[in-house]
């Protein structure tokens, strides 16, 4: 039966970057080995696949030396995703998710945002969703005894 020169491809964890392209090693469905296979990703997305990732290898013109791999997700690392949801994740459990009306960023150490200007629009809760004490309000005295003359941080609450 003609299979369109496609095979299931399991990555062995070897990743090589050369001249802006990524090459991987792995094995096909029948255990046949592939080396330095060009892995294809869409524009604007870059990742390093991990060992055990599953993709599909396509051999151009039926030639094993002209194979390309698409995909490479490791089923054991994939987070659950609600219908219509999106999650960007890495091999250590860090996740950025877009689910229903919420964007959620989870990281174990630090979230670092870099920009010449950062705009937060809306109510801001510092310390968690239960924060209820306004951070700064008109008449509040600072540590030097100076009073706030207007509500600079209206809508910003802390725990």
Both 65 and 90 in one domain: the answer is: no
In this predicted structure, what is the pLDDT of residue 35?
A: 93
Q: Tell me if 22 is assigned to some domain.
A: yes
Both 93 and 144 in one domain: the answer is: no
Q: In what order do the strands lie in the sheet with 124-126?
A: 124-126, 156-158, 133-134
Q: Domain total for the chain?
A: 3
- At 37, give phi and psi (nearest 5°): -90, 130
Both 45 and 103 in one domain: the answer is: no
Both 68 and 35 in one domain: the answer is: yes
Domain of residue 41, residue span: 6-73
Retrieve residue 65's tokens.
């030396």
Both 69 and 84 in one domain: the answer is: no
DSSP classification of residue 75: T
Burial label for 105, CB within 10 Å (0-12, 13-18, 19+), is exposed
Q: Domain boundary at 47, 73, 99, which?
A: 73
- At 83, give phi and psi (nearest 5°): -55, 125
User: For 61-98, what is each residue's pLDDT tens digit?
Assistant: 777 778 899 999 999 999 998 888 889 999 988 889 88
Both 10 and 68 in one domain: the answer is: yes
- Average the pLDDT over 146-154 and give the result: 68
Q: Distances from the Cα of 127 to the Cαs of 96, 114, 154, 155, 156, in angstroms?
A: 19, 21, 16, 14, 11
Q: Tell me if 1 is assigned to some domain.
A: no
Q: Tell me if 136 is assigned to some domain.
A: yes
């Amino acid at each position: 039966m003609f299979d369109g020169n496609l095979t299931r491809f399991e990555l062995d964890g070897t990743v090589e970057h050369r001249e802006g392209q990524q090459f991987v090693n792995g094995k096909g469905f029948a255990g046949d080995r592939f080396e330095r296979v060009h892995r294809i990703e869409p524009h604007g997305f870059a990742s390093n696949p991990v060992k055990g990732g599953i993709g599909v290898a396509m051999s151009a013109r039926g030639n094993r030396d002209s194979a390309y791999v698409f995909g490479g997700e490791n089923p054991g690392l994939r987070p659950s995703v609600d219908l219509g949801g999106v999650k960007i994740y890495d091999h250590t459990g860090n996740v950025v998710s877009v689910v229903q009306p919420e964007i959620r960023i989870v990281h174990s150490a630090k979230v670092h945002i870099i920009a010449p200007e950062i705009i937060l629009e809306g109510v801001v809760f510092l310390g968690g969703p239960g924060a209820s004490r306004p951070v700064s309000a008109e008449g509040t005295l600072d540590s030097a005894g100076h009073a706030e003359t207007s509500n600079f941080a209206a809508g910003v609450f802390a725990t």
